[in-house]
Structure 1
Amino acid sequence: MNENPERILKRALDHAGAGRLEEALALLAPLAARYPKVPAAVINHGEILRRLGRFDEAVAVLENAVARLPDLPVARFNLALALRGAGRPEDALAVYREALRRQPDHGDGWYNQGNALLDTGREEEAVASYRRALKHLPPPRQPRTLNNLASALILLRRPAESEAPLRDALALSPDYPDAHLNLGVALERQGHLGAAAGAYRRVGELRPEHWWHALHADLLCPDVFDDNAAIDTWRDDYAATLARWRDRPGHLDPALLHLSGAEPPPTLMYQGRADRALKTAHANLLAPRLPAIEPPAPRSGGDRRRIGLVVNHGHEGIFIRSVQGVLPRLDRQRFEIVVAVTRPALNRARAALGDDGLTWLALSPRVDQAAEQLRAARLDLLYHWEVGSDSFNYFLPWFRPAPLQYTSWAWPLTTGIPGMDFFLSSDLAEPEGAQDLYRETLLTMPGNMFTWAEPPTPPERPMTRADFGLADGEHLYLCAQNPRKIHPDFDPLAAGILERDPRARVLLIGSREGAETEPLRQRLQRRLGALAERVTLLPRQSRERYLGLLDVVDVALDPPHYSGANTSFDALGMALPLITLPSPLLRGAFTGGLYRRMGLTGLIARDPEHYVELAVSVATDPALRQHWRDALRRGNGAIFHDDRAIGELQNAWDIMLGDR
């Protein structure tokens, strides 16, 4: 190497600036080897390796650079970037902490630390890191930090707060597509659907190849409908929109599916209708726009069947609660369990479920990359915890990451996806002919309600009505479901209760983000008139306060079409009488299934009139209420510590796998 080293370096950087990374690396690797103490040579060598995706090599190079040049902050910052790329976010955060201690005014360092914090699900800390970055970055370089700050706030379910940084980003960079996209999300989460549609369409204008944002804009769906006629009108429009889009050109980019919003509207499931036709039509629209992927060949050899369970960030809380009693009781001689969790949810899930006998897999938040990771795990069967509550979990099954895959009650309606093999349900909750409701093969377990559950633990300090601002002289009827589940058919039930019981007060609980609460309040005021004065919308409660609330009300109410699930375990475990209506839909039949498991069906109403009669009778008659409380205390042991949930689940796996 006789050429001047500075010229070699300049040529390498010119190659890198033009995107010719391999040519840059061919010059930098020997240059860095020859001059290991020259920062520009060594650090750029590591950076080019990182940009090529050769993260482990980049880490090795940059670790050496930090060792040789400990007082050079850029070496640490680049090392942290490489560690994050290598899937080692905790190690990256340790390096960021030291680098920022040495150079606290490094705006890009605070920004990149915020990104690493998001990788680990630490959104509050990410918010603080992005805010520090903004103090040290000049305005022209702030938009991406403002956008990511907004992303963290959206993940924290604070969409209203995310609007200000997004509008600041767009003031600095009016044509910034990612900020328009996040603004659409923030507005949609607040229920401002018209403004959200405008933001999504603006993304489509700026990036015409990303046509799916315009589709999402066309399919925006209210969280709360005024009445059944509005629901039917929206569904007719949905079908017409799918037909209108069917022949338009365009493919979906696998690398962007997790941000696409091209899945069926999740709020479809709250409308109280059978959804197979619409979900299938939506899937048929998407199928030719996605890569056609065959499932991997079945695994041969091995003494145990390898079962995967997959959940993505934002949904791990209920997943943990629902599987933590199941996992330790599975037959580990027959089944190896792989728990696959997107990286931001990994620490929380692993801390709750432990490592005993489990194999953990940290998934990329990108659908296509996560699918490749799951394929590499060589699973026999994959259980998708939810399919359709967001873009990631809707599109993952399309990539056929296992020879066989199924879903079940956590998102309790058909996926409509042609590659989903099974839907696992329960005979206790499915009507005759239920297969017609599912595109998947329906498989039902005979005698359990899906999970090995622990009974709720009452709060240490018994609560009183005064703790919730409620009067002692009223009869309290609690519907603990989120406002999306309060179907318009609930309104006449509430009106009937309030008319028949002049001392009745109906209690509802608002949503976490609040977007659904005000439309529900307005609908009840319009439809119930003066009776709405005796409807109280409480704020969301902590777990302890929520259980305390169950202890002070007189009766619990299931809304029509979407009953409680975990909330039903809670109410029945606290021996609180819970009134429910039968439903042909799994999501409306969960409470009835629990009652059938206990052998107690007297609180399953025959029809709406009987529902009102049961609710008022239990709330106003102390002796009858005590009768049902005693019956629930005697019978609710059947729904807790239920070993049938283990045996029947394992039998279902055998059937899916063809082992039985």
Structure 2
Amino acid sequence: MRMGIENGWTKLEAGDLQGAEQAFRQALASDPKDVNALHGMGRVAMAARRFDIATDLLNQAKSLAPEIERITLDFLQACAALSAMQPGNALAHYALAQGLLGAGDIEAARDALLATLLADPGHVQARWMVNRLLPRVYVNPQEIALWRRRAATGVAILEATVDPKTPEQAGHELQGLLVRTNFELAYQGQDDKPLQLSYGRLVQRVMTAWLPDLAEPPGPVPFAFREDKRIRIGFASSFFTSHTIGLLFAGWIRHLDRKRFVVHSYLTNSKPDVSTKVLAGMCDVFRDLSGDLAEAARLIRADKLDALIYPDIGMDPRSQALAALKLAPMQMTSWGHPVTSGLPSIDYFLTSDLMEPDEGDKFYSERLVRLPNISVAYHPSSLPQVKSRADFGLPADAVLYLCCQALQKYLPQFDAVFPAIAKQVQDSRFIFIRHKTRHIDNRRFQMRLEAAFKAAGLDPARHLVFIPWLDWTDFLDLNGVADVFLDSIGWSGGNTTLEALSRHLPVVTLPTGLMRGRHAHAILKRLGLDDCIAKDLEGFVATAVKLGTDGAFRSGIRGRIEAGKGALFDDTSPVRALEAFVTKAVGVG
């Protein structure tokens, strides 16, 4: 069968479209999900200028193998050709925009959304998105200011023009609201409270107009009249799966005192997986709410919760929409997405006392609740080390600096730290992980870093390593073979820092003025590793260099991590503090 597919590609390259199609069809008859054959059929359709068919076939191939860059680029080419052939077709322009957005070409996606609106001025999804799109990878700091102005304008226009008076009008606007949140905004490293307040009012306006019966907060059920006197507390997220959010916040659910609390959890917008089943087993009530949104809201309200926690408002539009309603008398969010929600319906923000700066309150619309230490009871992975450096294609004797954050956490104004370290650690490698699907972002990020090394007079090929997206076990093994973990500056690693330390990997961090830039700072403070917390960029470089060149110092830090990690992991003091706060806030005791 493989030979048949190869024959199809040979015929395609020779211009024999009929022969190529026949070969690919035979392969698909045996396996309708053969990615190579679907890709080939899509290319045949492109060559025949049947771009409508090509986009469908290539989209199927892309869905099955999103990590293959060539398929994504061919899909985008087919979408662009189709929209050019049908300039009045708003759906074609919008499909192109979505494809470009998924690949990380935000400027081109914005152009496609403008074309969508020219073809159909009433296109609600394009109207909500067009000026709120933000890149995840910026070429330079000046770009950040440009895109931020666009986003502010987009939010202001929506708040000024979207005011539904009926559920039907609100339902129409909801189609735009549910496309995306302001997720990328917080990665710019600035105070987002004004923009989030504006957008939060807008989201609540739409949701309460759509579900007017849920517009008013429910009254608490007096404990004196209850048969079960325990506090009913809920947790709602789209990411109670094998995801960072599940890893960070499962400890709250696991360790809450069941003699005092009844725990409800809600999966709001994801397919359950193995981790979901584990988390569901920790709960008294677990509901999969991935169906009808109005029904999901009413199911939560019907559970008559005393308190409801959304740990990550801003990561998923469906959870954000639910959070805009008052489904429990007291509602809270936390640092799963570490920025204020801006929603009038959210009363408290559960933060970490060690992460939050002294003046942190001013950055939130919610009232801050500072839980002790790192605020969560994190249970690290216990998987054994399996792979070696050779398995990752990494040199045995080089100093390996692991830089494993999502690419949007690396701001261009801090790129110079990498060549500054490399100049002093000549046999160094900086390991970055490519995004699985955002191929244009990957290219842009690599070009930006290569330019930084060239500007410093260094050969980027000698020092920079970009590896493909890894599964969880391989990611943990990569931590196990590295020498130093370099935290991202401006948006610090939380889950990644914790897992690095579980492998006794030394971490270098530079805390900034917002809580999202201080995760690793708090974690290292908990371990008493102030040696690894820099005060400025020069200190960051100096600490990284010392860890890379001084084996005894590095070994000593590893030993201190191993000796102190018992105080860091599975720390239930934040859970006890959460219990005490909720108990007092709902009026018990």
Query: Would you call these one fold, judging by a TM-score over 0.5?
Result: yes
Which residue does the alignment assign to 1:296? 218
| Maintained 8 Å contact 1:422/1:443 | yes
- Cα deviation for residue 156 of structure 1 reads 7.9
Call closer, same or farther: CA 1:217–1:589 in 2, change over 3 Å. same
Which residue does the alignment assign to 2:464? 535
| Maintained 8 Å contact 1:216/1:261 | no
Q: Secondary structure at the match of 2:416?
A: helix
Deviation string 1:446-485 (CA, Å, 9 cap, x unpaired) is 23432331354332x3x33222222223211111101111
Q: Distance in 1 between matches of 2:489 and 2:425?
A: 20
Which residue does the alignment assign to 2:424? 500
Q: Distance in 2 between matches of 1:344 and 1:152?
A: 22
- Cα deviation for residue 396 of structure 1 reads 1.7
Call closer, same or farther: CA 1:448–1:193 in 2, change over 3 Å. closer
Q: Distance in 1 between matches of 2:379 and 2:301?
A: 31
Deviation string 1:51-108 (CA, Å, 9 cap, x unpaired) is xxxxxxxxxxxxxxxxxxxxxxxxxxxxxxxxxxxxxxxxxxxxxxxxxxxxxxxxxx
- Cα deviation for residue 184 of structure 1 reads 2.4
2:259 pairs with 327, 333, 351, which one? 333
The one-letter code matched in structure 1 to 2:552 is A
Q: Secondary structure at the match of 1:425?
A: strand
1:235 aligned to 2:148? yes
Q: Distance in 1 between matches of 2:376 and 2:530?
A: 19
Call closer, same or farther: CA 1:249–1:409 in 2, change over 3 Å. closer
1:184 aligned to 2:97? yes
1:596 pairs with 515, 525, 545, which one? 525
The one-letter code matched in structure 2 to 1:280 is L
- Cα deviation for residue 362 of structure 1 reads 2.0
- Cα deviation for residue 284 of structure 1 reads 4.1
The one-letter code matched in structure 1 to 2:296 is A
Q: Distance in 2 between matches of 1:507 and 1:474?
A: 12
| Maintained 8 Å contact 1:144/1:169 | no
| Maintained 8 Å contact 2:131/2:154 | yes
1:545 aligned to 2:440? no
1:627 aligned to 2:549? no
The one-letter code matched in structure 2 to 1:401 is L
Q: Distance in 2 between matches of 1:591 and 1:334?
A: 33
Call closer, same or farther: CA 1:339–1:176 in 2, change over 3 Å. farther
Q: Distance in 1 between matches of 2:129 and 2:369?
A: 32
2:514 pairs with 585, 601, 620, which one? 585
Call closer, same or farther: CA 1:179–1:637 in 2, change over 3 Å. farther
Structure with bigger gyration radius: 1
Q: Distance in 2 between matches of 1:200 and 1:237?
A: 14
Q: Distance in 2 between matches of 1:388 and 1:152?
A: 30
Deviation string 1:193-238 (CA, Å, 9 cap, x unpaired) is 2442344345546665443522311221111112222212322333
1:652 pairs with 577, 581, 589, which one? 581
Call closer, same or farther: CA 1:226–1:143 in 2, change over 3 Å. closer
Call closer, same or farther: CA 1:583–1:148 in 2, change over 3 Å. farther
Provide the TM-score with structure 2 as the length reference. 0.79
Which residue does the alignment assign to 2:500? 571
- Cα deviation for residue 240 of structure 1 reads 3.4
Which residue does the alignment assign to 2:212? none
1:319 pairs with 245, 254, 271, which one? 245
Q: Secondary structure at the match of 1:633?
A: helix
Q: Distance in 1 between matches of 2:76 and 2:284?
A: 41
Which residue does the alignment assign to 1:373? 299
- Cα deviation for residue 315 of structure 1 reads 6.3
Which residue does the alignment assign to 2:368? 442
1:268 aligned to 2:192? no
Q: Distance in 2 between matches of 1:280 and 1:263?
A: 17
- Cα deviation for residue 172 of structure 1 reads 12
Q: Secondary structure at the match of 1:308?
A: strand
Call closer, same or farther: CA 1:615–1:361 in 2, change over 3 Å. same
Call closer, same or farther: CA 1:368–1:321 in 2, change over 3 Å. same
Where relative contact order (Cα < 8 A, 6+ residues apart) is larger, the structure is 2
Call closer, same or farther: CA 1:604–1:211 in 2, change over 3 Å. same
1:607 aligned to 2:536? yes
Deviation string 1:289-319 (CA, Å, 9 cap, x unpaired) is 5535222222333411111111226966233
- Cα deviation for residue 487 of structure 1 reads 1.4
Q: Distance in 2 between matches of 1:634 and 1:382?
A: 37
Q: Distance in 2 between matches of 1:155 and 1:380?
A: 43
Provide the TM-score with structure 1 as the length reference. 0.71
Deviation string 1:525-573 (CA, Å, 9 cap, x unpaired) is 2232143331111212222222222222211100101111111111111
Which residue does the alignment assign to 1:12? none
The one-letter code matched in structure 1 to 2:189 is G
| Maintained 8 Å contact 2:97/2:110 | yes
> Cα RMSD between the aligned structures?
3.5
2:447 pairs with 522, 537, 546, which one? 522
Gaps of 5+ in 1: 1-123, 135-141
| Maintained 8 Å contact 2:129/2:176 | no
| Maintained 8 Å contact 2:238/2:316 | no
Deviation string 1:263-295 (CA, Å, 9 cap, x unpaired) is 553111211112112212333455555535222
| Maintained 8 Å contact 2:207/2:321 | no
Q: Distance in 1 between matches of 2:61 and 2:331?
A: 32
1:101-500 matches, within 5 Å, as 150=59, 160=72, 181-201=94-114, 203-204=116-117, 208-248=121-161, 251=164, 253-254=170-171, 257=174, 260=177, 264-286=181-203, 288-291=205-208, 293-300=215-222, 301=226, 302-312=228-238, 317-342=243-268, 344-346=270-272, 348-355=274-281, 357-459=283-385, 461=386, 463-500=387-424
Call closer, same or farther: CA 1:234–1:514 in 2, change over 3 Å. closer
Which residue does the alignment assign to 1:513? 437
| Maintained 8 Å contact 1:147/1:182 | no
| Maintained 8 Å contact 1:325/1:454 | no
Call closer, same or farther: CA 1:464–1:597 in 2, change over 3 Å. same
Deviation string 1:113-141 (CA, Å, 9 cap, x unpaired) is xxxxxxxxxxx99x9xx99xx9xxxxxxx
Call closer, same or farther: CA 1:236–1:380 in 2, change over 3 Å. same
Call closer, same or farther: CA 1:641–1:315 in 2, change over 3 Å. closer
Q: Distance in 2 between matches of 1:562 and 1:148?
A: 38
Q: Distance in 1 between matches of 2:180 and 2:283?
A: 35
Deviates more, 1:613-622 or 1:272-281: 272-281
| Maintained 8 Å contact 2:376/2:571 | no
Q: Distance in 2 between matches of 1:512 and 1:304?
A: 44
| Maintained 8 Å contact 1:190/1:513 | yes
Deviates more, 1:544-553 or 1:282-291: 282-291
Call closer, same or farther: CA 1:625–1:217 in 2, change over 3 Å. same
